[in-house]
């Protein structure tokens, strides 16, 4: 059970409890049987959706023990799904599997409300009581890359949860060939930004960019790093990996480690989004790993590869479109 909020063309809000199913990255909710004198298509929430398709859904968990409080808010676009549409039958089947009460109702003859999620905001421990195998496609679709954050800090327990998620990423031979440098205080972030600025300046100048353009880009890079409440520097650590007598296999071993570093980063970004935070991925350390090591006084055996920034988005970012799936499949044998 959750709550569905709609608004009419004048912005007047209207919220109702609702039953739903999450199927294939979409939310479906039925229009239950009504007295014959009431056409379900004239319900207030349906009229609102026709005038204004933007909706919000809140699914929460209440507990007398406040450590168990949690909620998930989904914003998206809604429309009415008529019974003759093929998608309608699949949604009805999923609803009846979730709610036995619907098996005795004629919801297959009535329209459904279909909601396409656009953003997800979560708070609290949403994993408590959830079944293994929960569909996380919606979480992946909702995550966005953020550059600018509010000053609000990331809570220590959230920092820990993000790092814990990185720890559980798959890795070659299970060796976890990465280490995390965690920056929450202003001083190390400022020191790192200042140390990297000289390299950025040199590289941008080599690109033939004008001085004023270089200055603007340097300032934005500085502000992006120092303005993030939490920065996690992802470092490659190869000492625990297998060694081979030939260069080819050793190179492959290193590549496997780099691939697993990406898996750790994705775990962290998705977990942060699930916690109601936003994140961004910066690859600047790849271009000056020694500078990063020196600025943070890290073990020289570490090779910084990326920085993940986390916090609360200062504004909604412009999302780049993703290629259609069929464009990405090069062989389907």
Residues 54 and 114 in one domain: yes
Q: Is residue 64 part of a domain?
A: yes
Q: What is the pLDDT of residues 143-160, one digit of tens each?
A: 889 999 999 999 888 898
Residue 194 has pLDDT above 60, yes or no: yes
End of a domain among 89, 117, 142?
142
Q: What is the pLDDT of residues 279-308, one digit of tens each?
A: 999 999 999 999 999 999 999 999 999 999
What is the distance between the alpha carbons of residues 276 and 124, in angstroms, rounded to a whole number? 8
Task: Give the model's pLDDT for residue 57.
Answer: 94
Task: Give the model's pLDDT for residue 133.
Answer: 39
Q: Is residue 187 part of a domain?
A: yes
Residues 85 and 126 in one domain: yes
What is the average pLDDT score of the chain? 88
Residue 29 has pLDDT above 90, yes or no: yes
% the chain with pLDDT above 90? 56
Residues 198 and 117 in one domain: no
Residue 262 has pLDDT above 90, yes or no: yes
Q: Specify the CATH number for the domain of residue 237.
A: 3.40.109.10
Q: Is residue 319 part of a domain?
A: no
Q: Is residue 331 part of a domain?
A: no
pTM of whole model > 0.75? no
> If pLDDT is split at 50, 70 and 90, which confidence band does 131 have?
very low
Residue 237 has pLDDT above 90, yes or no: yes
Task: Give the model's pLDDT for residue 181.
Answer: 97
Residues 130 and 206 in one domain: no
Q: Is residue 207 part of a domain?
A: yes
Number of domains in the chain: 2
Q: Is residue 270 part of a domain?
A: yes
Residues 195 and 119 in one domain: no
Task: Give the model's pLDDT for residue 156.
Answer: 86
Higher pLDDT, 28 or 98: 28
State the residue range of the domain holding 9: 2-142
Token pair, residue 205, equals: 């100048």
Task: Give the model's pLDDT for residue 301.
Answer: 96
Task: Give the model's pLDDT for residue 35.
Answer: 57
How large is the average pLDDT for residues 116-143?
A: 66
Q: Specify the CATH number for the domain of residue 53.
A: 2.30.110.10
Residues 125 and 250 in one domain: no
Residues 127 and 175 in one domain: no
% the chain with pLDDT above 70? 94
Note the Cα 82 to chain centre separation in Å: 31
Residues 174 and 80 in one domain: no
Residue 1 has pLDDT above 80, yes or no: no
Q: Is residue 325 part of a domain?
A: no
The mean-pLDDT minimum among 6-20, 139-153, 160-174, 245-259 falls in 139-153
Residues 199 and 103 in one domain: no
Residues 266 and 175 in one domain: yes
Residues 128 and 173 in one domain: no
Task: Give the model's pLDDT for residue 129.
Answer: 45
Residues 60 and 130 in one domain: yes
Q: Is residue 241 part of a domain?
A: yes
Residue 193 has pLDDT above 80, yes or no: yes
Q: What is the pLDDT of residues 40-86, one digit of tens each?
A: 888 999 999 999 999 999 988 777 777 778 888 899 999 999 999 98
Task: Give the model's pLDDT for residue 134.
Answer: 40
Residue 318 has pLDDT above 90, yes or no: no
């Amino acid at each position: 059970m959750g709550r569905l909020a709609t608004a009419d063309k004048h912005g007047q809000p209207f919220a109702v409890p609702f039953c739903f199913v999450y199927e294939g990255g979409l939310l479906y909710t039925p229009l239950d049987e009504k007295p014959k004198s009431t056409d379900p298509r004239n319900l207030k929430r349906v009229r609102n959706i026709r005038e204004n398709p933007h909706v919000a859904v809140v699914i929460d968990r209440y507990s007398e023990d406040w450590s168990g409080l949690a909620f998930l808010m989904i914003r998206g676009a809604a429309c009415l799904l008529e019974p003759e549409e093929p998608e309608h039958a699949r949604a009805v089947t999923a609803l009846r599997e979730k709610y036995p009460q619907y098996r005795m109702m004629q919801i297959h003859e009535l329209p459904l409300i279909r909601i396409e999620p656009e953003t997800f905001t979560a708070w609290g421990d949403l994993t408590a009581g959830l079944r293994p195998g929960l569909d996380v496609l919606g979480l992946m679709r909702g995550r966005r890359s953020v550059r600018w954050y509010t000053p609000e800090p990331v809570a220590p327990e959230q920092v820990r949860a993000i790092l814990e998620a990185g720890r559980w990423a798959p890795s070659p031979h299970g060796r976890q060939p990465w280490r995390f440098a965690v920056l929450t205080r202003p001083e190390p972030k400022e020191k790192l930004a200042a140390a990297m600025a000289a390299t950025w300046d040199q590289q941008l100048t080599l690109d033939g960019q004008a001085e004023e353009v270089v200055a603007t880009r340097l300032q934005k890079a500085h502000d992006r790093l120092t303005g993030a409440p939490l920065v996690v520097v992802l470092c490659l650590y190869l000492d625990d990996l297998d060694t081979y007598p030939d260069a080819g296999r050793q190179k492959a071993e290193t590549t496997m480690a780099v691939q697993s570093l990406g898996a750790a980063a994705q775990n962290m970004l998705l977990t942060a989004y699930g916690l109601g935070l936003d994140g961004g991925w910066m690859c600047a350390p790849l271009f000056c790993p020694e500078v990063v090591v020196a600025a943070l006084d890290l073990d020289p055996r570490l090779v910084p590869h990326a920085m993940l920034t986390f916090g609360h988005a200062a504004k909604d970012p412009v999302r780049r479109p993703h290629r259609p799936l069929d464009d990405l499949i090069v062989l389907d044998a």
